[in-house]
């Protein structure tokens, strides 16, 4: 029997994408502001919505448990240069 003991971090990609393009078409200054906001906030939001899981047990029937040590991350933000 194959077993596993893994710790997994799921980090969603957060981006304004199409909203920035539409804002730039409507008003270039609004588009620039939206682009800067997207750049500044995307890493913060990705960090805030990241979740940690522990996966253990056999491959045929893994046990997945969310770790709750990822709570309150907005207070301890990663530096913007981390990516």
21-67 per-position pLDDT tens digit: 777 788 888 888 888 888 777 778 788 888 999 999 999 999 999 99
Taking only the tens place, the pLDDT of each residue in 8-23 is 999 888 777 777 777 7
What does DSSP say about strands 51-58 and 3-10: parallel, antiparallel, or unpaired?
antiparallel
Would you say the C-alpha torsion 50, 67, 55, 62 has a positive or negative sign?
negative
Nearest by Cα to 3 from 53, 64, 55, 57: 57
What pTM value is reported for the model? Answer: 0.56
Give the separation between CA 80 and CA 44, rounded to whole angstroms.
Answer: 8
Give the separation between CA 23 and CA 28, rounded to whole angstroms.
Answer: 7
Give the separation between CA 80 and CA 45, rounded to whole angstroms.
Answer: 11
């Amino acid at each position: 029997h194959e077993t596993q003991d893994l710790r997994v971090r799921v980090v969603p990609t957060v981006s304004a994408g199409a909203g920035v393009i539409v804002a730039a078409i409507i008003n270039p200054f609004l588009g620039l502001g939206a682009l800067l906001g997207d750049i500044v906030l995307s890493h913060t939001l990705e960090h805030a919505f990241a979740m940690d899981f522990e996966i253990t047990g056999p491959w045929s029937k893994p046990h997945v448990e969310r770790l709750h040590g990822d709570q309150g991350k907005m207070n301890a933000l990663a530096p913007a240069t981390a990516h």
